[in-house]
Chain A
Amino acid sequence: MRRFGWLVPALYIAFLLLPIYWLLSMSFKTTNEILGGFTLWPRNFTLENYRKIFTDPTWYMGYVNSLTYVVINTVLSVTVALPAAYAFSRYRFLGDKHLFFWLLTNRMAPAAVFALPFFQLYSAIGLFDTHIAVALAHCLFNVPLAVWILEGFMSGVPRELDELAFIDGYPFWKFFLKILVPAIAAGIGVAAFFCFMFSWVELLLAKTLTSVEAKPIAATMTRTASTSGYELGLLAAAGALTIIPGAFVIYFVRNYIAKGFSLGRV
């Protein structure tokens, strides 16, 4: 039994890679080959689909827009979550439990419920079709998540550390930035990873809050799919490129993923 244990993850990973292989394979095919019939690998290998994406601004700006609001959201979420997580892990205050629970309930709000009100809200304050709007809207589910993860990490830091620093005469902000933040660097990495992930993969709100200037790549893809008919190769190439930022981020946090999960309670 033990000897064949590796088969389970191996088969599972093969299952994970099959659709990804198919996407990559399609992205290197010409439209004619795709529609002409079934081929297991590209017969007429072409980079035309990728060339088009990298030379056409409506395509490559989609990636720039997506990355812009994802990065703003990640920085914003982690920054506001840090002091709050500290408060929840160290202090008791009026309504702390209720506040924490209320924050988490926002993680349970379906994006479909908020799509229309968000559109009206961000139109009313003049932020419609800006990166800031999407970054702020994604805070709805990312800030509670970041607070939750960071609170777990901070509770793992002994209180004595705070007390020693205050005895040594550190002012609060200096202790926070110079001692506490480095002590939970892994936790910040994990929180940032999750914020990046959930902001990068979300489409419904991002699409609702943008039209031209801040249009995310995912929206470019769905609109292309409906307007230019059946350009599957182009769509596959665009899809394949959306995997890259995620893979890049995973590489950086690979040693913390598992550790972060257990320490950070998420």
Chain B
Amino acid sequence: MSARVVNQRAWWLVLPVLLIVAFNAVIPLMTVVNYSVQETFGDNRFFFEGVKWFDQVMHSARFHEALKRQLLFTAIILAIEVPLGVAIALAMPRRGLWSSVCLVLMSMPLLIPWNVVGAMWNIFALPDIGLLGWTLNKLGFAYNYTRQPFAAWATLIAMDVWHWTSLVALLAYAGLSAIPDPYYQAAKIDGASAWAVFRHVQLPKMKHVLTIAVLLRFMDSFMIYTEPVVLTGGGPGNATTLLSIDLVKIALGQFDLGPAAAMSLIYFLIILLLSWVFYRVMTLGEESS
């Protein structure tokens, strides 16, 4: 990277990307900013309101509840998916036919449209005619995800683990395959335990891809919308109404543009801030070494 030369004409090369992303990002974002400080009564006349909507959202119990649910959801799925993904990657065959079979099968959930994932789990977990719901009820658990908040949460988390653990596993696997064999031979000669190999050889080599995995999973789980809407519709009650679902309810359902816009901006800023914190924490010590 140190060999990069200063060349201002490189701007011409990034210009197409800049234009296409700016068109999609800056104009809509300015629209949102515009709405967030104005009041409208649906007749295309707008009145400047200052920070009223921000104040309202920041002090709204509804927003706090949705944010708490969102943080809880993200924390749970990160705590499950990251260790599980690493464990799967460690146990996967390194080369040969079986490794290809594993990679292809494990990528499958990643390429299914999100509403189909929701619909699939909806059918799978139906208490009377779904494989999962029926089995659980036969085993003596009174399980009904449309009625019980706990069951709805468990189903939602199982669905997300089903959907996204493969991403972590694939990234971790990629990190592992980049470790040259001599590392393992050296560890074997030293008589290192499996744990020591993991701790001192494999984990440091996976650090980079794991940073990406955690960041991607954090961002995407924080933005999750389609799957829970199709699976539970945010219910029972508001039990699984995560931030995006609440936002769409306010913006498109009630058409409260001002509060929705203010909430959008706060939401976006929270993601940016937390991503930055994650990134700093996970790359801590990289700069000093």
Contact = CB atoms under 8 A, between A and B. Distances in A.
Interface of A: 1, 5-9, 12-13, 15-23, 26, 34-35, 37-38, 40, 76, 80-81, 83-84, 86-94, 96, 99, 103, 105-118, 120-121, 136-137, 139-140, 143-144, 147, 155, 159, 197, 200-204, 217-218, 221-222, 225, 232, 235-236, 239, 242-243, 245-247, 249-251, 254-255, 257-262, 265-266
B178 A200 contact: no
A19 B162 contact: yes
B13 A83 contact: yes
Q: Which of A40, A90, A239 has the most CB of B within 10 A?
A: A239
A12 B165 contact: yes
Contact of A258 (B7, B13, B18, B177): B177
Contacts of A112: 223, 225, 243-245, 247-248, 251, 264
B275 interface: yes
A246 B29 CA distance: 32
> What are the 10 A-B residue pairs with the smallest beta carbon separation, nearest first?
A246-B111, A261-B174, A117-B28, A87-B13, A91-B10, A8-B91, A117-B31, A87-B10, A110-B223, A262-B174
Contacts of A16: 105-106, 108-109, 162, 166
A98 B119 CA distance: 40
Nearest to A217: B113
Given A120-B31, A222-B230, 15 more contacts: A12-B169, A16-B105, A90-B4, A92-B7, A93-B7, A113-B32, A136-B23, A140-B24, A159-B3, A201-B114, A203-B115, A217-B113, A239-B112, A245-B111, A262-B175
A22 B131 contact: yes
B251 A109 contact: no
Contact of A250 (B108, B131, B175): B108
B63 interface: no
Interface of B: 1, 3-11, 13-14, 16-18, 20-21, 23-25, 27-29, 31-32, 84, 87-88, 90-93, 100, 102-116, 119-121, 123-124, 128-132, 134, 162, 165-166, 169-171, 173-175, 177-178, 194, 208-209, 212, 219, 222-223, 225-226, 230, 243-245, 247-248, 251-252, 257, 260, 264, 267-268, 271-272, 275
A159 B5 CA distance: 11
Given A92-B5, A143-B21, A218-B113, A18 B124 contact: yes
Contacts of A117: 27-29, 31-32
Main secondary structure of the interface of B (DSSP, over half): helix
Contact of A197 (B32, B111, B132): B111
A246 B129 contact: no
9 contacts: A9-B93, A80-B17, A83-B14, A93-B10, A103-B17, A115-B252, A116-B257, A117-B27, A262-B177
Given A115-B252, A203-B226, A144 B21 contact: yes
Given A115-B252, A203-B226, A232-B123, A139 B20 contact: yes
Given A112-B248, A147-B17, A91 B113 contact: no
Contacts of A147: 17
B14 A12 contact: no
A138 to B, nearest CB: 9
Given A92-B6, A250-B108, A262 B116 contact: no
Nearest to A235: B119
B28 A121 contact: yes
A20 B111 CA distance: 13
A113 B120 contact: no
A197 B16 CA distance: 22
A255 B100 contact: yes
Contacts of A245: 111
B110 A258 contact: no
Q: Is the interface of A mostly helix, strand, loop or mixed?
A: helix
A250 B106 CA distance: 10
Contacts of A159: 3
A105 to B, nearest CB: 6
Nearest to A266: B212
A251 B104 CA distance: 7
B28 to A, nearest CB: 3
A218 B3 CA distance: 47
Given A107-B219, A259-B177, A19 B209 contact: no
B114 A202 contact: yes
Contact of A93 (B11, B88, B173, B272): B11
Given A143-B20, A262-B209, A9 B92 contact: yes
A167 B107 CA distance: 43
Nearest to A112: B244
B64 to A, nearest CB: 18
Q: Which residue of A12, A26, A76 has the most chain B CB atoms within 10 A of its CB atom?
A: A12
A217 B121 CA distance: 18
Contact of B108 (A20, A34, A110, A139): A20
B103 A110 contact: no
B54 to A, nearest CB: 15
Contacts of B222: 110
